[in-house]
Structure 1
Amino acid sequence: MMNPIANTAVFVALTGSQNALERKLTALRSLATAFCIVAAFCLLGKGIFELFGITLPALRLAGGILVFLVGYHMLQGSSSQMHSNNPSSESEDEDKDIAISPLAVPILSGPGTIATAMNYSASGGFLNIMVTMIAFAVLCMITFICFLYGPKLIDKVGKSGINITTRLMGLILSVIGMQMLIQGVHDAYMLFQLVS
């Protein structure tokens, strides 16, 4: 769900007025927050399911729709509302913490990312949870490197390179979303057969 290169463009735009040290601190705080949020949902996924009476097929169906919508918007060359920063028309406070919002939530750990993490971690045991968390940690480190070298990366890749990467990621996310939907429908059918 996280697209480091596309998110780097957003990060550079949001931190344009910051110096190198402030930009580094913002990147660290936003990625640490995003990782903690996703890790919490990975670890507490099954507990959340039991508390609210949610089934795995329901999560796969809802998560598949969310992931597909994000991918579809990326394929169209536009950012999904779940992964974009829409500055309000009101004057913003200079000390507003952009590391938490909008960077950590919803750009880095939006609904689609959380649903995907819960889907992969809740479908198995402790090993699945650890693999999901390690994969997200690696992705956070890659994103941190992209954030550090953001301005240089944007200059080298250019706007067309970012557009191509975004569309390719959109295609992949759309396919992942459809796969989650298909698996959700299959699992819901099997659950219905067991109940009846």
Structure 2
Amino acid sequence: MNAILLHTITVFMGFFAIMNPIANVPIFVSLTADDDERTTRTLALRSLLLAFAIVSVFAIAGKLIFDMFGISLPALRITGGIVVSLIGFHMLQGNQSSVHQLKEEDHQKCLEAELSIAVSPLAMPILAGPGTITTAMNFSARGGILEMILTISSFAILCVITYVLFIFGKKFVEFIGVGALGVITRLMGLILAVIGTQMVIEGLHDAFKF
């Protein structure tokens, strides 16, 4: 029983360190700055459900998927890094969503476009990035079915915690004001761009073994 508890705590802390939900709160808030509360909650829920699905699939059959499509982890790191860098560059310009500036008849279509950020960059690669996927694969491969269940359950708990942080993060930013949000948006854009660059560097390092 102690061994199971220790394994669960180890897995949870590993996921927490890699995904770092606290650091992701300002990023989420910046990406949803112009959205209403309902859209923000939908984005948070959708991105975390997608992240949970991705991590669960790779925890169960990660190696098989990589082998089937001939995908390498360095390739995943490089591609994810480029995506994150592009999003970060966009945020550095202070660009904001245009969903609220469009005609009423186009609102639903543009809302769906706005919700697409739940897929990229939120779910993948920010929440379920290469590091998180690798962690899930490593922990679930260490034992049998029990270890796999514990790995997936630990990530599910982390997703619930992250959802709460995302929802209350929006209220915090509303409290500090629009000006501060503009600063946060650019700061998080810089951080995202650096994170993306680091992911590319790590991918290149793993691919060519510098």
TM, length-normalised to structure 2: 0.63
User: Quick one: distance in 2 between partners of 1:60 and 1:133?
Assistant: 23
Contact 1:63 1:112 survives alignment (8 Å) = no
- Alignment length, in residue pairs? 168
C-alpha change, 1:159 and 1:28, in structure 2 (3 Å) is closer
Letter of the aligned partner of 1:184 in structure 2?
G
Q: Which residue of structure 1 aligns with residue 50 of structure 2?
A: 37
Letter of the aligned partner of 1:176 in structure 2?
I
Q: Unaligned regions of 5+ residues in structure 1, if any?
A: 16-22
- By how many angstroms is 1:29 displaced? 4.4
Residues 18-77 of structure 1, C-alpha deviations (whole Å, 9 max, x = no match): xxxxx4xx6554433221101111122325423322110101010010111111111121
- By how many angstroms is 1:121 displaced? 2.4
Which of the numbers 132, 137, 157 marks the counterpart of 1:121? Answer: 132
- By how many angstroms is 1:92 displaced? 4.1
- By how many angstroms is 1:120 displaced? 1.2
Which of the numbers 148, 154, 166 marks the counterpart of 1:143? Answer: 166
User: Quick one: distance in 2 between partners of 1:134 and 1:189?
Assistant: 36
Letter of the aligned partner of 1:43 in structure 2?
S
SS of 1:10's partner is coil
Residues 86-122 of structure 1, C-alpha deviations (whole Å, 9 max, x = no match): 476571477x8x5xx356x423342464124230123
Letter of the aligned partner of 1:74 in structure 2?
M
Letter of the aligned partner of 1:44 in structure 2?
V
C-alpha change, 1:27 and 1:74, in structure 2 (3 Å) is closer
Which of the numbers 81, 89, 99 marks the counterpart of 1:72? Answer: 89
C-alpha change, 1:181 and 1:134, in structure 2 (3 Å) is farther
Q: Which residue of structure 1 aligns with residue 33 of structure 2?
A: 9
Which of the numbers 181, 185, 188 marks the counterpart of 1:162? Answer: 181
Contact 1:42 1:133 survives alignment (8 Å) = no
User: Quick one: distance in 2 between partners of 1:113 and 1:69?
Assistant: 16
Identity %: 32
Letter of the aligned partner of 2:86 in structure 1?
L
Which of the numbers 99, 105, 112 marks the counterpart of 1:91? Answer: 105
- By how many angstroms is 1:134 displaced? 5.3
TM, length-normalised to structure 1: 0.67
Letter of the aligned partner of 2:162 in structure 1?
L
- Superposed, which structure 2 residues align to 1:103-114 within 5 Å? 105-111=115-121, 113-114=123-124
Root-mean-square deviation (CA), in Å?
3.4
User: Quick one: distance in 1 between partners of 2:92 and 2:162?
Assistant: 21
SS of 2:105's partner is coil
* Bigger helix fraction: 2
